[in-house]
Structure formats: C-alpha cells, structure tokens
C-alpha cells in the first residue's frame, strides 16, 4: 500500500527507529487519509462558525427563558442551536476526518512495541497535519455542550411554578358566608333537586380556585357524615372542597346513584355520605367538609370555614 515514508521527514514511520521493518504502513499523504474537504482550512472556519451559531442559539434560548420566556422565540433559538450544532458536528465528521477506506495488510497478529509506538505517533502526527484547529473546534464544541447542559436544566428550575406555601391553609370561607354560584347568585335550598350538584363559592369570591366547593344534595333530610358533624348537612345539602386531596384537580363529577364524587384526573372516588372519605384511587385523605346552615329565607350559608387545609395532602406538610 505504501513505502512507509513520512510526509514531513520522508522516513519509514514504522521503522523510524529501525524496528518493524517489512510491515507495510500507510503513508500520511495517501489520498484516502486526506479529509474530504478540498480546502480543509475553509471547512474548519465554516464548521467553527456553525458551532458558534449553535452556541449562541443555546445561550439565547437560556437567556430568554430565564427572563420570562416567549414560546415562539424559545423554539426559534433552541432550533437554531440544535440545527447549527448538529450540522457542524456532521460536517466535522464528513469534511475534516480522513475518509478511508482503511485497510491494513497483516502478516502477524501481534504488533511489536516499536510498531505500536510508531502507530501512536503516526496518529498524532496525522491529526496535526490535516486538522490544524482541533483545539479551537474542540473548545467551541465543549463550550456549546456546556451551555446546552446548563440551559437544559432551566425548565426544571423555572417551570415548576411557585410553591403554594401557606396559601391553601386558609380560604375565604368565613362564618355566615353565603354560598353563591359562579355568577355570584346566592344559592337557595330550593335550587337543587335531590341528586343535584353545583360548584359554589363564598359570596364576594366567585371563581376563586382555593374556595371552590362542591355542593351536592344527597337527600331531603339532615345528614350526619361523621361524629361531630351532626349539623353540617341540613336538608341533605353537603359541601366539600373541590380541590382533590391527591394532586389538586377539581373533583367536579357527582355520581348520584352511588353518591360519590369522582376526580377525573386519577379516578379517586369520595363517598359524600361518610365525610367524602376516599373509597378508591390515590387520594390519601377525605375532602375537607364545609359546615352548612340555612337561614330563615332559605339561603345556604357556611357555619364556619374549613377546619383543615384544602388541596393535596403533602402541601399541608410543606
């Protein structure tokens, strides 16, 4: 395949120290060892430019995300980053590395120490010969990968939303707060048939998510759900927080036949006649019950606020 002559010195690579004579080694200026690019210097510059564009794309994506984000531009910057970086890497492999084919004629399986040393030196020399800016490109590659690695953690840091902290420990339900529907209209005892259900809020806070409450009419007689709650369910009206105790989804479905509230997220079932005790699904605790009363004109009021935090059980431990 070759006469084993070094490009720079014109000596036999494998036998430069006199050892390994007879082993046909590749000459470094063989055509198949040259990069595919006709002008490697120019290719290096273009690839470096692509990697820099990719790095800038990642940095712009991260910067925009950090200051609040804008979905479309995040997509553009991220796309530019990945496209330029990927294209640069592909071009690096295609245009700057030797193209082969690489065939080694072999007459003995084991290489002697001098042959191994000569090959290592050959690889090192060859890299320097055809690939002058490897350190430069490697630096950009490492920097881009580093920026991408940092930026990729931003969604974890910035997108989990604020902690609820103490916001779920108190609601706007107060003693004598009237129950109103989403339009702010007070709820009268004649408004619901037996088997009916309605989302209600404390008067003045219609639409408030932390206050949302499921009002169901289970029967026409007073209902005692648990000991100590003898007066909480007048005329069959029962009220429970609508925030699921599993992950906070709205428990918005009432199954009249079984008298159960269903959370559509993970199918937790709460039995309204036993204090909204969970009878199925992942919810770890009952829905908080709101004690009700009915005034002389027939409108429903809260006797008091919730006696425990609403929402997922783990939040109350935060």
Q: Name the residues that contact ligand FES, by CB under 6 A.
A: 244, 246-247, 249, 263, 265-266, 268, 281-283
Give the phi and the psi of residue 265 in degrees, each rounded to 5.
-70, -55
- Residue 142 C-alpha from the chain's centroid: 24
Residue 276 beta carbon to ligand FES: minimum distance, rounded to whole angstroms:
12
Comparison of 180 and 287: residue with beta carbon closer to ligand FES: 287
Comparison of 143 and 265: residue with beta carbon closer to ligand FES: 265
Residue 287 beta carbon to ligand FES: minimum distance, rounded to whole angstroms:
10
Comparison of 19 and 249: residue with beta carbon closer to ligand FES: 249
Residue 164 beta carbon to ligand FES: minimum distance, rounded to whole angstroms:
14
Comparison of 4 and 248: residue with beta carbon closer to ligand FES: 248
Comparison of 171 and 268: residue with beta carbon closer to ligand FES: 268
Residue 266 beta carbon to ligand FES: minimum distance, rounded to whole angstroms:
3
Residues 297, 302, 305: CA angle, nearest 5 degrees: 165
Residue 57 beta carbon to ligand FES: minimum distance, rounded to whole angstroms:
38
As to burial, measured by CB atoms within 10 angstroms (0-12 exposed, 13-18 middle, 19+ buried), residue 247 is middle
Tokens describing residue 235: 């005329």
List Cβ<8 Å contacts ≥24 apart for 139-144: 140/48, 140/51, 140/52, 140/55, 141/51, 141/89, 143/55, 144/51, 144/54, 144/55, 144/58, 144/81, 144/85
SS3 (DSSP) at 102: coil
Tokens describing residue 173: 């339900």
């Amino acid at each position: 395949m070759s006469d084993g002559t070094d490009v720079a010195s014109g000596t036999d690579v494998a036998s430069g120290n006199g050892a390994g004579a007879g082993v046909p080694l590749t000459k470094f200026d063989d055509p198949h060892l040259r990069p595919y690019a006709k002008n490697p210097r120019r290719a290096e510059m273009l690839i470096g430019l692509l990697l820099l564009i990719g790095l800038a794309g990642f940095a712009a994506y991260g910067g925009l995300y950090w200051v609040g984000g804008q979905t479309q531009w995040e997509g553009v910057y991220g796309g530019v980053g990945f496209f330029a970086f990927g294209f640069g890497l592909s071009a690096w492999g295609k245009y700057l590395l030797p193209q082969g084919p690489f065939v080694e004629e072999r007459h003995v399986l084991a290489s002697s120490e001098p042959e191994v040393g000569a090959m290592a030196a050959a690889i090192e020399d060859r890299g320097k010969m055809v690939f002058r800016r490897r350190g430069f490109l490697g630096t950009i590659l490492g920097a881009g990968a580093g920026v991408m690695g940092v930026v990729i953690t931003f969604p974890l840091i910035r997108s989990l939303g604020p902690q609820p902290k103490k916001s779920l420990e108190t609601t706007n339900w107060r003693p004598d707060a009237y129950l109103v529907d989403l339009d702010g209209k007070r709820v009268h005892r004649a408004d619901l048939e037996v088997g009916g259900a309605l989302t209600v809020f404390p008067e003045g806070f219609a639409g408030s998510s932390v206050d949302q409450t499921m009002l169901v009419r289970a029967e026409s007689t007073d209902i005692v759900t648990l000991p100590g709650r003898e007066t909480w369910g007048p005329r069959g009206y029962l009220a429970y927080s609508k925030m699921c105790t599993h992950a906070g989804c709205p428990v918005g479905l009432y199954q009249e036949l079984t008298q159960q509230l269903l959370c559509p997220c993970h199918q937790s079932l709460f039995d309204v006649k036993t204090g909204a005790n969970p009878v199925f699904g992942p919810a770890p605790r009952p829905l908080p019950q709101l004690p009700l009363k009915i005034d002389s004109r027939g409108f429903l009021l809260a006797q008091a606020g919730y006696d425990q935090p609403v929402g997922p059980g783990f939040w109350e431990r935060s």
